[in-house]
Amino acid sequence: MNRFLLVVLVSLVLSFVSFRELDEKPLLGFSAGAADAQYALEAIFDSHLNANNLDAWMKRMTSNPQHVGSPQGKANAEFVRDLFESWGYEASIETYHVLFPTPKLRRLELIEPVKYRARLQEPPLKEDLSSQNTADALPPFNAYSADGDVTAELVYVNQGIPDDYEVLAEKGISVEGKIVIARYGGSWRGIKPKVAYEHGAIGCILYSDPRDDGYFRGDVYPDGPFKNEHGVQRGSVLDMPLYPGDPLTESYAAVEDAGRGTISESPTIMKIPVLPISYADAEPLLAAIGGEVAPADWRGALPMTYHIGPGPAKVRLQLEFNWDLTPAYNVIARMEGRDEPDRWVMRGNHRDAWVFGAHDPTSGHVAMMEEARAIGELAKTGWRPKRTILFGSWDAEEPGLLGSTEWVEHHGKELEKKLIAYINTDSNGRGFLGIGGSHILERFINQVADDVTDPQTGVSVLKRRIARDHVRQVESGTTLQPAGMDYPISPLGSGSDYTPFLQHLGIASLNLGFGGENSGGSYHSLYDTYEHYSQFGDPGFEYGIALAQTAGRATLRLANAEVIPFRFTNLADRLDEYVEEIKQLVDKMRNDTEVRNKLIDEDAFKVAADPKQHYNPPVKEEPVPFIDLSPIENAIAFLRTHAARHDANLDQGINDQADTGYINFIIDGSEGRLTSFTGLPGRRWFRHMIYAPGYYTGYGVKTLPAVREAVEQRNWSSVEKDAVDRTAVIDTEVDRVAGGIAMVATGLSAITDETWGHD
């Protein structure tokens, strides 16, 4: 080790020990001596972090629109690569050729009962210099909408999620052959046209209601952070719950000479035209809709009475796109490990945006860049991580996680062998730490977050988050989490670049970011600019530094730990919770179905309905069978037994007698044992059996997804109505999940107390 670094480490260790609590738990995965050296290393790492760098990089990278395929996008890739090289990394650009449609024609007209042509543009603001630099900007559109020229009556469908169509069915309102208008919220945007198409709609219009992120919430931009009347949320409507990434190359990389499917046959490209609009453009359309008044919880904040329709409003929607292959430039940087160069830890954030993208994604990206620079400063002294550290600056995330997915599909075999964990960030702002990820990393990230100081309050970012949650629980009357337990991190669905790592390969993953006090309506709009972010997002970039400290510590600890810090009791605890949720769901569905069917038999719905309103009484549903989840429960019990011994040994700390190589060999890849080679039912790309994005929620997670969604969709057995076993489908998925959990437990059973060097 470099002599200067050794002197600094020793002095920092001595000062650090003086204020560390004597009863503090050992640093997970480290011996006592290695832990002290790690804490000292992190103190040096912190000393190199500089908020001015984040500010300067954001200003430069967001100076022009940086969507995939833009000149700024390529320039930023080269800029980031060159910086990584200057910091001492091996860095390169890996290019993929992905389908990225861009607008050729966008037209929306109200043709009855009055005339109105939608503006479909966001005007630049004199108060926001960035918003005036629009020469390379793409207009508001939904990527992977179908081409189309459709004319039909308009129907307001609230948020356009399945529950809303149940309300429409009860009212006898059909969207067959109609164009629907839905407001953002309730699900990921791509679910809305998907469900509309399933119900026979021929077009879909999306808009942001001021109740959700406009003047109802506060002052609008530029006077305040919220969406003004012309702001539009762009975004992809690629059917990512089927599979993310390039729609023409499912499960293999979109390299230049790859074989490709056809656009017409791609299952993830939307089948109807879809267009996002502002609430200024939505208002005359909604005002022209007649018919029944919308239910109270469907009403937004526009100055009108919201009606459902259909008609008399009739609209014409015309969309045409350039369906081009576009280069996506991923920047990959590598710092080789000293002792285990073939064991990797990866840190990633996407770089592309819909327009300027200051908040999404540059706020997270510049924090990652500063982490990388600070680690590079450590390396200049002669230090090297124990394991190899990779950084990924992803392109083409916004259209559908294209850059990261193609890279993972390209390098999947090697990643399955070498990659221990992936740490993702995306947007970042002022407020509270949000943590999602694999539950085997729960105790680990709790320790990390407890060692980072919140810049506004001086307590740890973990304690501040827990305090916020406890206050909310008291205010809502819910049960407080017992003291002394780890803070439960959220399971991950989809929506950012952890998806291919966790959901496809089964790599233990984390997703980190601050927020909650950075309100606003700039998301995916022209106004997500440096000016907006520096005023309303994270003034002074204090939370950018906090994110760099948090993700940087996580990266360094995973790279340096003597034993990979996976803890399995946390996984068993969460699995128990997920099984109990499904049991309660089944019991509630059974009771509700029995009561509902009885009321139908008694004509109660018909009698209770307003005779002056059209009403379709519900139809009876098949009784809910009893589901046997005991195979999963038994597997969890098996896991808990062996997890308890493993975790107790891990919690004691590492000693010289521990066979760390063998322990790491066994536990590395544990997350991958929770994947299914055949994938989830109906969507083979998603292989993780514990976490997945919901088929009808998009970003939102479904835990134990194959079982839970079979229950929610009442898919009890095979399609044959005379099937003898009414729970055949669910039983198969239950057994598959139980087998994966048992495989993790079996691996842990091979690690004895003697392996740990404990008597």
According to the model, what pLDDT value does residue 722 have? 36
| Of the candidates 358, 329, 328, 347, the residue with the CA atom closest to the CA atom of residue 60 | 358
Asked if pLDDT for residue 9 goes beyond 80, the answer is no
Q: What does the DSSP 8-state code read for residue 257?
A: T
Structure tokens at 430: 């002022």
According to the model, what pLDDT value does residue 729 have? 77
Asked if pLDDT for residue 19 goes beyond 50, the answer is no
Say what angle helices 728-749 and 705-712 make with each other, to 10 degrees.
160
Q: What is the DSSP string of 163-179?
A: HHHHHHHHTT---TT-E
CB proximity list for 751: less than 8 A, separation 6 or greater: 645, 646, 649, 662, 663, 666, 667
Q: How many residues does the chain have?
A: 759
| Of the candidates 478, 482, 498, the residue with the CA atom closest to the CA atom of residue 490 | 498
- Side chain identity at residue 675, one-letter code: T
pLDDT digits (tens, 9 = 90+) for 146-159: 999 999 999 999 99
CB proximity list for 617: less than 8 A, separation 6 or greater: 600, 603, 605, 606, 609
According to the model, what pLDDT value does residue 615 have? 79
Place of tokens 């080269």: 78
Lowest mean pLDDT among 163-177, 527-541, 666-680, 724-738: 724-738
In angstroms, how far is CA 225 from the centroid of its own chain? 23
Structure tokens at 712: 């929610």
C-alpha 430/C-alpha 116 separation (Å) is: 40
Average pLDDT over residues 459-478: 92
> Cα–Cα distances in Å, from 82 out to 77, 365, 395, 414, 724?
9, 15, 16, 26, 64
Q: Does residue 202 contact residue 177 with C-beta atoms inside 8 Å?
A: yes
According to the model, what pLDDT value does residue 706 have? 94
* Three-state DSSP state, 673: helix
Say which residue, 480 or 425, is predicted with more confidence: 425
In angstroms, how far is CA 658 from the centroid of its own chain? 37
Peptide linkage before 482 cis (omega within 30 of 0): no
> Cα–Cα distances in Å, from 409 out to 245, 382, 443, 668?
9, 34, 30, 20
Q: Does residue 266 contact residue 218 with C-beta atoms inside 8 Å?
A: no
C-alpha 220/C-alpha 214 separation (Å) is: 6
pLDDT digits (tens, 9 = 90+) for 191-228: 999 999 999 999 999 999 999 999 999 999 999 999 99
According to the model, what pLDDT value does residue 725 have? 58
According to the model, what pLDDT value does residue 11 have? 39
C-alpha 83/C-alpha 72 separation (Å) is: 16
CB proximity list for 449: less than 8 A, separation 6 or greater: 433, 435, 460, 461, 462, 465, 487, 550
The pTM of the full predicted model, rounded to 2 decimals, is 0.94
- CB atoms closer than 10 angstroms to residue 281: 24
Q: What does the DSSP 8-state code read for residue 397?
A: -
pLDDT digits (tens, 9 = 90+) for 647-694: 999 999 899 899 999 999 999 999 999 999 999 999 999 999 999 999
CB proximity list for 230: less than 8 A, separation 6 or greater: 119, 121, 122, 123, 278, 280
Asked if pLDDT for residue 8 goes beyond 70, the answer is no
C-alpha 256/C-alpha 616 separation (Å) is: 54
Say which residue, 643 or 520, is predicted with more confidence: 643
Asked if pLDDT for residue 609 goes beyond 90, the answer is no
According to the model, what pLDDT value does residue 730 have? 87
Average pLDDT over residues 591-614: 90
Q: Domains of the chain: which residue ranges? A: 1-48, 51-97+328-560, 101-325, 569-756
Q: Does residue 347 contact residue 390 with C-beta atoms inside 8 Å?
A: yes
Say which residue, 120 or 1, is predicted with more confidence: 120
Q: Find the angle CA(520)-CA(131)-CA(73) to the nearest 5 degrees.
A: 95
Q: Rg for the chain (alpha carbons), in Å?
A: 27
| Of the candidates 555, 524, 641, the residue with the CA atom closest to the CA atom of residue 140 | 524
Residue 73 burial by CB count (10 A; 0-12/13-18/19+): exposed, middle or buried? buried
Alpha helix positions (H), 199-333: 210-213, 279-287
Backbone angle region of 380, left / alpha / beta, with phi > 0 → left and psi within -120 to 50 → alpha = alpha
C-alpha 698/C-alpha 54 separation (Å) is: 31
pLDDT digits (tens, 9 = 90+) for 536-582: 999 999 999 999 999 999 999 999 999 999 999 999 999 999 999 99
Peptide linkage before 385 cis (omega within 30 of 0): no
Q: Name the superfamily (CATH) of residues 569-756.
A: Transferrin receptor-like, dimerisation domain (1.20.930.40)
Asked if pLDDT for residue 5 goes beyond 70, the answer is no
According to the model, what pLDDT value does residue 148 have? 98
* Three-state DSSP state, 318: strand
C-alpha 565/C-alpha 195 separation (Å) is: 42
Highest mean pLDDT among 19-23, 25-29, 176-180, 606-610: 176-180
According to the model, what pLDDT value does residue 637 have? 97
CB proximity list for 351: less than 8 A, separation 6 or greater: 61, 66, 73, 76, 77, 80, 331, 361, 362, 365, 393, 394, 395, 397
Q: Does residue 394 contact residue 365 with C-beta atoms inside 8 Å?
A: no
Task: Report the mean per-residue pLDDT for the chain.
Answer: 94
| Of the candidates 2, 281, 269, the residue with the CA atom closest to the CA atom of residue 123 | 281
Asked if pLDDT for residue 12 goes beyond 60, the answer is no
According to the model, what pLDDT value does residue 16 have? 38
Q: Does residue 156 contact residue 308 with C-beta atoms inside 8 Å?
A: yes
Could you say which of 3.40.50.2300, 1.10.357.10, 3.40.605.10, 3.40.630.10 is the CATH number of the domain covering 51-97+328-560? 3.40.630.10
C-alpha 52/C-alpha 111 separation (Å) is: 53
Instruction: Report residue 483's pLDDT band, with 50, 70 and 90 as the boundaries.
Output: low
CA dihedral angle for residue 553, residue 559, residue 565, residue 566, rounded to 10 degrees? 110
pLDDT digits (tens, 9 = 90+) for 79-117: 999 999 999 999 999 999 999 999 999 999 999 999 999
Average pLDDT over residues 388-392: 99
pLDDT digits (tens, 9 = 90+) for 617-645: 888 999 999 999 999 999 999 999 999 99
Could you say which of 1.10.540.10, 3.50.30.30, 3.50.50.60, 2.170.120.12 is the CATH number of the domain covering 101-325? 3.50.30.30
- CB atoms closer than 10 angstroms to residue 68: 27
C-alpha 92/C-alpha 87 separation (Å) is: 13
Structure tokens at 365: 């990206």
According to the model, what pLDDT value does residue 25 have? 75
> Cα–Cα distances in Å, from 700 out to 107, 129, 184, 366, 693?
32, 35, 15, 26, 5
Asked if pLDDT for residue 485 goes beyond 90, the answer is no
According to the model, what pLDDT value does residue 529 have? 98
- Range 104-107 contact pairs with CB under 8 angstroms and sequence separation of 24 or more: 104/320, 104/321, 104/322, 105/318, 105/319, 105/320, 106/139, 106/140, 106/141, 106/275, 106/318, 106/319, 107/316, 107/317, 107/318, 107/319
